[in-house]
Amino acid sequence: MSTESSLPQHIAIIMDGNGRWAKKRFLPRTVGHVKGAAGVRRIVKACADRDIRYLTLFAFSTENWRRPPEEVSTLMDLFVQYLQKEMADMSSEGVRLRVIGDRSAFPADLQARIAAAEQATAHNTTLHLTVAANYGGQWDILQATRAWQTANPGCTLDDLHEADLAAHLSTADLPDPDLLIRTGGESRISNFLLWQCAYTELYFVDDYWPDFDEASLVKALTWFASRVRRFGRTDEQVAPAPTAAT
Would residue 213 show up in a list of annotated catalytic residues for this protein? no
> Among 8, 19, 39, 210, which residue sits at the site for ligand IPE (rule: CB under 6 A)?
19
> Rule CB under 6 A: is residue 58 a binding residue for ligand IPE?
yes
> Rule CB under 6 A: is residue 30 a binding residue for ligand IPE?
no
State the catalytic residue, choosing from 18, 64, 77, 102.
Answer: 64
> How many residues bind to ligand IPE according to rule CB under 6 A?
17
> Rule CB under 6 A: is residue 103 a binding residue for ligand IPE?
no
- Return the number of other C-beta atoms located less than 10 Å from residue 241's C-beta: 5
Residues from 198 through 227 that contact Mg ion (CB under 5 A): none
> Among 10, 13, 14, 16, which residue sits at the site for Mg ion (rule: CB under 5 A)?
16
Q: Dihedral of CA 23/28/32/38: which sign?
A: negative
Least distance to Mg ion, CB of residue 22, Å: 12
130 close to 100: Cβ distance less than 8 angstroms:
yes
Phi and psi, residue 173, nearest 5° = -85, 0
Answer left, alpha or beta for residue 26, where phi above 0 means left and psi between -120 and 50 means alpha.
Answer: left
Full strand arrangement of the beta sheet holding 95-100: 95-100, 127-135, 54-61, 10-14, 179-182, 201-204
Nearer to ligand IPE, 59 or 95 (CB): 59
Per-position b or e across 103-115, b if 16+ CB within 10 A of its CB: eeebeeebeebbe
> Among 118, 190, 202, 227, which residue sits at the site for ligand IPE (rule: CB under 6 A)?
190
Least distance to ligand IPE, CB of residue 168, Å: 23
Using the rule CB under 6 A, give the single segment among 9-17, 91-99, 106-114, 137-145 that binds ligand IPE. 9-17
| Residues engaged in binding ligand IPE (CB under 6 A) | 14-20, 58-61, 64, 75, 184, 186, 188, 190
